Amino acid sequence: MQISISVPYDEQRLRRTLRFLANRQMKPYRILGVAFVVLGAALIALDLTSPAGYGITAGGLALLFAVVPITVASGMRMQSAAVKQGYHLSLTDEWAQVSYPLVESRFRWQGLDRVVETPEVWYAMFGKAQALTIPKDLMAPEQQAQFSAFTANLPR
């Protein structure tokens, strides 16, 4: 496999990637959020004037609905200026190489945990919180088919 594409900076793609990664880490917080909402509702049912019940419910709702958007916004603010210049992506049978104008990274496919496919991109997961975004819309149909066949043959 030899695929080479230029990937312009796309803020929405970066937001989707950060949201994808944040959502993967949020399961314990969502469970805690549901527990807080139920506990808060029970306290409110017992005493409508209970400030603790309203506070616990508000905290649970924040865990359910506010943490991911806050995490994504924070992640966007923390991005290096080098990332906001677009990159060149080279995929071979052995390596995935990302070359920004000021930064370069190489990932050996042997270190890959898995590939998650969405309608817009593939996320090559190197660990639980590091994903290489491989956009489909910038690839020719033959390249998409080639990469899809390559990922199907990767050891799981």
Same domain, 65 and 95: no
Q: Where are the beta strands (DSSP E) in the chain?
A: 2-7, 87-92, 95-99, 104-108, 114-117, 121-125, 131-135
Number of domains composing the chain: 2
Question: Is residue 73 domain-shared with residue 119, that is, in the same domain?
Answer: no
How far apart CA 55 and CA 71 sit, in angstroms, is: 22
Helix (H) or strand (E) holding 67: helix 67-77
For tokens 């527990």, what's the residue? 35
Task: Report pTM.
Answer: 0.82
Residue 13 lies in a domain: no
Residue 16 resides in a domain: no
Domain of residue 34 covers 22-77
pLDDT in tens, the chain (156 residues): 899 999 999 999 999 999 999 988 898 999 999 999 999 999 999 999 989 999 999 999 999 999 999 999 999 999 988 888 899 999 999 999 999 998 899 999 999 999 999 999 999 999 888 899 999 999 999 999 999 999 998 866
- Do 69 and 105 share a structural domain? no
- Same domain? For 141 and 108 the reply is yes
Residue 15 lies in a domain: no
Tell me how far apart the alpha carbons of residues 125 and 156 are, in angstroms, rounded to a whole number.
12
